[in-house]
Structure 1
Amino acid sequence: MAKIRLNGMTWDHRRAVDPLLAMQQAFERECPDIEIAWHARSLSGFECTPIDELASEYDLIVLDHPFMGFAARSGCLLELDSLGLADGDFVGPSLATYRMEGKLWAVPIDAACQVAVSRPDLMARIGAAPPRDWLELIRLAQVSKGQGLRLAIGLKGVHSLMTFFTLMANLGTPCAIQQDAALFEPAAARYALGLMRDLLSGCPPEVLDWNSIALHDQMASRSDLVFCPAVYCYATYAEADHVHSLRFHDFPGPSGPRGSTIGGTGLAVSAASYQREAALAYARFAARLSTQTGFAHHHGQPARRECWEDEAINARFGGCYHDTRATIEQCWIRPRYDGYLAFQETGGDLIESHLRGALSEDYLLDRLARLHVGAST
């Protein structure tokens, strides 16, 4: 009898691809009549490719939670409440990010938020401990500069917006998640932008060209980047197979680790799939603790709470999960309304332009506020 063939789409990094391929044999042993062909798109494609387009081609889709508003309205994804998943099984608000209008649209298979990352060898060279708040961060910038080292961050496009969101939430003045509310409190927004400019002054100018992957690559390969306060964690860069393994820490915000903007990925099932039951079987498999433990041992970044507490997993990733747990448990969920992604793409470019000196603070804040209320599709 011919096998059922599912097509899946993820994003192109070993953190995303390798876990799925590694656990495929385990799934096929359990469901020998089902096989999955995985495909990958770039990080930029992951952040902006319309989900309805992917749902017309693929049975299984690894996606980001800002798509949930569109998913709930369009009906392009299958509801997954029948899987019976519980919030307490996943770290922080990971499961909640995929719930919209009272329904669950994806299974958390990867958990992440903005946290700090360091080069342990360079930190040891200057005798510095990871900063616990923004004041200590600025002191580290001063010490590092005196030793010929710099801070780092990735501020390309959307990553500028995520850092702004994180700082606003950390200050206790989070940006609005609904379109019918003012996006931000102006004084707090100006303060957050000032913090970003101060940070930028301690970094090489090319950080404005870096996304999260580029930031990790540069910190792992260069010899002058000692610490980054806020980037979406790629725990695989703490593994021992890197020449210069990185170390992850809680977000050193002005108010401590709270308020970081959650990221991660979820696995969704296309409502257009002709093999819904087979796709649901894989979604159920992907949600299990045993599966996500397997993901972790193949460069993945599991969302199951028990994995974050697992000593063997923490040993493999340099204590990443222990050392960033306080941050992810206090994360903020960014807007997910239908149309938000248009705001995210343009808003990130606007903040980047401001940081490059091309837009005034007044102009930027006015444009962001107007964009927020007019972003609906």
Structure 2
Amino acid sequence: MAPIKLRGMTWNHRRAIDPLVETMPMFRARYPEVEIEWSSRPLSGFEFTPVDMLAKDFDFIILDHPFTGLIAATGCLVPLDDIIAPGQDPFVGPSLESYRLGGSLWAMPVDAACQVAVSRPDLIRALDTAIPANWHDLMALGGKARRKGHWLGIGLSGVHSLMTFFTLMANLGTPCATGRDAEFADRHAASEVLGLMRDLLSVCPAEVLGWNSIELHDQMMQRDDLVFCPAVYCYATYAEADQRRPLRFHDFPGPNGPAGSTIGGTGLGVSAHTRHRSEALAYARFAAEQATQHAFALHHGQPARRDAWQDEAINERFGGCYRQTMATMEACWTRPRYQGYLAFQERAGDLIEAHLRGSVTQDALLTELQRLHAAG
């Protein structure tokens, strides 16, 4: 009997590809007739390539939850409502609900993340300082770091500028609109948030405006002058012992504590075009299981199940990352998911970056963000 061959698309980082590949023997032990080939793409492709296009070529797509508006409108993925029993939610924070739209669940959480803080513990010790608990403490740390010739860090390239803007807006209790029928952002609060972001830039190297989340982690590990970052999508694998300088993760130090961080993470979607729906759904169930999610963590993955986040052995492997960021994860804010939002996300991120570079005024920025939001 010829094997059943399925194809999947994820994104190019060991956090993403390694768990899927390395846990295949567990799946094949149950379904020896099924083979799954995984391909990967850059982070930028993960953020913006339309899922309905990928669904024509792949049986599985690892995706970001803002695609659910497009998915619900086109029906390009198979609803997964039968995998998780009604009333049950074994996943951390709003991970599961972020993939539910229009009465259907469109992807299964396989990776959980949000914007949290990250530190170089050796540099924090050298400064003889505590981890910031709020924005006031953060800026005090920034001043102390600069006096020692060190910096704070963040990644503010394009869409990552927008994510930090979203997080701070939600933290202030004035979250941005998630539907097109409301004003995008309270203008007074938005002015305050942009001021906080400009203040942060004053104690960061200029290069941060060109970094995404992966580059921020890489730079903090490779350089010896980046002490602390207040808000970046967590890559727990950078806390593992095989890194040059293992990083440590902490709750988001917002002006009002850890609430409001913009949720990220990834979900596994099953293509509506697959010729092997039964086998593909079997893999989606497998990916959601406790044993699978815990095994993901053994291969540099970032599990989405709450029990994995609470597991002591997993926390030890990742420097306490999950335990130390749980409060932030449980209090996340979920981005807009309407069809057409991703075009706004791409343009809005570039505009906020341009403002932070000094080429777009604050008034012009806020006016254009509202226009783009209303245009859909």
In the superposition, the TM-score normalised over structure 2's length comes to 0.99
Unaligned runs of 5+ in 2: none
Q: Which residue of 2 aligns with 1:2?
A: 2
SS of residue in 1 equivalent to 2:116: strand
Q: Which residue of 1 aligns with 2:346?
A: 345
Which amino acid letter does the alignment assign opposite residue 371 of structure 2?
R
Is 1:264 the counterpart of 2:260? The answer is no
SS of residue in 2 equivalent to 1:328: helix
Q: Which residue of 2 aligns with 1:177?
A: 178
Q: Which residue of 1 aligns with 2:131?
A: 130
Which amino acid letter does the alignment assign opposite residue 52 of structure 2?
D
Is 1:192 the counterpart of 2:193? The answer is yes
- Structure 1 distance, partners of 2:274, 2:98, is 23
Q: Which residue of 2 aligns with 1:11?
A: 11
Is 1:43 the counterpart of 2:43? The answer is yes
Q: Which residue of 2 aligns with 1:68?
A: 68
Q: Which residue of 2 aligns with 1:20?
A: 20
Is 1:81 the counterpart of 2:58? The answer is no
Is 1:228 the counterpart of 2:254? The answer is no
- Structure 1 distance, partners of 2:299, 2:119, is 23
Q: Kindly indicate whether the alpha-carbon contact (under 8 Å) linking 1:115 and 1:229 is maintained by their aligned counterparts in 2.
A: yes
Is 1:143 the counterpart of 2:134? The answer is no
Moved more, 82-91 or 71-80: 82-91
Q: Kindly indicate whether the alpha-carbon contact (under 8 Å) linking 1:10 and 1:41 is maintained by their aligned counterparts in 2.
A: yes
- Structure 2 distance, partners of 1:329, 1:87, is 16
Kindly state the Cα deviation for residue 87 of structure 1 after the two structures are TM-superposed: 5.0
Which amino acid letter does the alignment assign opposite residue 183 of structure 1?
F
Q: Kindly indicate whether the alpha-carbon contact (under 8 Å) linking 1:88 and 1:305 is maintained by their aligned counterparts in 2.
A: no
Moved more, 342-351 or 75-84: 75-84
Query: Deviating runs (4+, > 2 A) in structure 1?
Result: 84-88
- Structure 2 distance, partners of 1:142, 1:207, is 17
Q: Which residue of 2 aligns with 1:90?
A: 91
- Structure 1 distance, partners of 2:159, 2:173, is 22
Unaligned runs of 5+ in 1: none
SS of residue in 1 equivalent to 2:40: strand
- Structure 1 distance, partners of 2:168, 2:49, is 27
- Structure 1 distance, partners of 2:84, 2:306, is 16
Kindly state the Cα deviation for residue 88 of structure 1 after the two structures are TM-superposed: 2.9
Q: Kindly indicate whether the alpha-carbon contact (under 8 Å) linking 1:111 and 1:301 is maintained by their aligned counterparts in 2.
A: yes
Q: Which residue of 1 aligns with 2:279?
A: 278
**Relative to 1, partners in 2 of residues 1:22 and 1:72: Cα closer, same or farther, differing over 3 Å?**
same
- Give CA deviations for 1:154-211 in whole Å, capped at 9, x if unaligned: 0000000000000000000000000000001100000000000000111000000000
- Structure 1 distance, partners of 2:346, 2:79, is 27
Kindly state the Cα deviation for residue 84 of structure 1 after the two structures are TM-superposed: 2.3
**Relative to 1, partners in 2 of residues 1:87 and 1:196: Cα closer, same or farther, differing over 3 Å?**
farther
Which amino acid letter does the alignment assign opposite residue 9 of structure 2?
M
Q: Which residue of 1 aligns with 2:156?
A: 155
Q: Kindly indicate whether the alpha-carbon contact (under 8 Å) linking 1:87 and 1:95 is maintained by their aligned counterparts in 2.
A: no
Equivalent residues in 2 for 1:236-255 (5 A)?
236-255=237-256
Q: Kindly indicate whether the alpha-carbon contact (under 8 Å) linking 1:87 and 1:96 is maintained by their aligned counterparts in 2.
A: no
Q: Kindly indicate whether the alpha-carbon contact (under 8 Å) linking 1:59 and 1:269 is maintained by their aligned counterparts in 2.
A: yes
- Structure 2 distance, partners of 1:87, 1:197, is 42
- Structure 2 distance, partners of 1:344, 1:373, is 13
Identity of aligned residues (%): 63
Kindly state the Cα deviation for residue 308 of structure 1 after the two structures are TM-superposed: 0.4
- Structure 2 distance, partners of 1:207, 1:184, is 25
Which amino acid letter does the alignment assign opposite residue 36 of structure 1?
I
- Give CA deviations for 1:76-109 in whole Å, capped at 9, x if unaligned: 0100001125553000000000000110000000
Q: Which residue of 2 aligns with 1:29?
A: 29
Which amino acid letter does the alignment assign opposite residue 46 of structure 1?
F
For the aligned residue pairs, the C-alpha RMSD in angstroms reads 0.6
- Structure 2 distance, partners of 1:181, 1:212, is 30
Which amino acid letter does the alignment assign opposite residue 111 of structure 1?
A
In the superposition, the TM-score normalised over structure 1's length comes to 0.99
Is 1:52 the counterpart of 2:57? The answer is no
- Structure 2 distance, partners of 1:301, 1:6, is 23
